[in-house]
Amino acid sequence: MGRSYSEKTIKLLFGSASRCAYPECAEPLVFKDRGRLTVVAQVAHIRSEKLNGPRHDTDYDEALLNSFENLLLLCGKHHPPVDQHESVYSVEELEDWKAAQTAQTGRFLSDGEVPEIIAALEEVAHAQARRATLRSTWEAFSAATLPFCDRAQGATSRDAAHLSEQLVMDRRAFNVAMAAVLREGPEDMTEHAVAVRDCCDALVRHANIYGPGWIAWRALDDARSRPSPGYISDVPASWALYNLGVLAQAATGGGPVPEAVYAEAATALQEVEGLTPAHIRDLLEDASRPESRRTAVADLNAARENFYEALEQFETGSLAHLASAP
C-alpha cells in the first residue's frame, strides 16, 4: 500500500498534520521513541480506490485516488469505523476533516525519515490486509456452520433425499470455510475450528441415525391429520401409532422384539394412506431401537448445545484476535 504513494505525497501528508483527522482526537501520527521514529498513523482514502470500496466514485479521476487531495491520516482506532460504516461518513464530511487537518502544524521530514515512514506504512497496510483476510475467513466459517447445523438436526425437511442432498452441499461449503481457517491460522483459532467441525460431525452422525425416522414420524403425523378414504376419522393412523408404541415398549426392554409385535405394527402402517415403503421401514426401525425417542431427543439437544458452545468460543476468539491486531 505504501508504495502507491509518492515521497512527495508522504511529505505533504505528514508535513501538514500532527494528529489524527478525526474531530477532537489528539492521537499523534508520528513520534520518536528512544531515537527511533514510530508511525501510528494510517492512510485513509476519502474515496476508495477499489470499485466496491467505501465511497468509491466512478466519476473521480483515477490518477488522483492515491494523491494528497484524496488522502487523510487517521489513527488505528478511527480508520476502521470510517471505512466499515461508509454510510455514516460522507465524502463531504471527510473533506472537511481533510481541510482541518491540513491547517494543523505538521513537521518537516528529513530525507532519512521519509523511507522510515513509508516502511512503517507498509507494515500497517500488511497488518490491515491480514485483519481483513482473517475477518472474512472467520465470518465465512461461522456463516457456513449455521445452516449446516440446522439441517443436520434431521427434522427440518419432510423429504429424506432432500435432507441428504442439502447436507452434502452444506458440508461442501463448510469444508471450504474450514480449509481457509486452517490455512490462515493462528493455532488457537484452528483448535476452535476443529472443535466446531467435530460437533458438526456429531450432528451428522445423529442425523444419519435418527433423521429418516423423524421425517417418517412427521409423515405419520400428517396422515393422522387427514382421514383416510372410507374412514370418518384417522383410525388407521391412530391404530398404527398405537402398535408402534407397543413395539417401542417391547424394544426398550432390551430383549429381542417378538416377531408378532413387529408384524402387527408393519401391517397397521401399511393401512395408512400416504406412507411410502421408506416411511414404513424407517418408522419400524426407529421404534425398534433399544433407546427411547426421549433419549434420542436428549442426545440431539446435547449435540446442538456442544455445537453452539464451540461456535461461540470460535467467534469470541476471532473477536479477541481482531481487537488485539495492529
43, 30 contact by CB (below 8 A): no
Q: Quick check: is 142 in a domain?
A: yes
Mean pLDDT for all residues in the chain: 80
Comparing 11-25, 101-115, 151-165, the range with the smallest average pLDDT is: 151-165
Together in a domain, 71 and 156: no
Distance between CA atoms of 12 and 35, rounded to whole angstroms?
23
Together in a domain, 170 and 289: yes
Q: Which residues sit opposite 43 in a β-bridge?
A: 73
| Residue range(s) defining the domain that contains residue 173 | 134-324
Q: Quick check: is 115 in a domain?
A: no
What pTM does this model have? 0.55
51-90 pLDDT, tens digit each: 888 999 999 998 899 889 999 999 888 988 898 888 889 9
Q: Is 56 helix (H, G, I), strand (E, B) or coil?
A: coil
Comparing 32-41, 132-141, 164-173, the range with the smallest average pLDDT is: 164-173
**For position 231, what pLDDT does the model report?**
52
Q: Quick check: is 88 in a domain?
A: yes
Together in a domain, 95 and 138: no
Together in a domain, 196 and 95: no
Together in a domain, 142 and 100: no
User: Helix 113-152 vs helix 160-184: angle between axes, to the nearest 10 degrees?
Assistant: 160
Together in a domain, 103 and 153: no
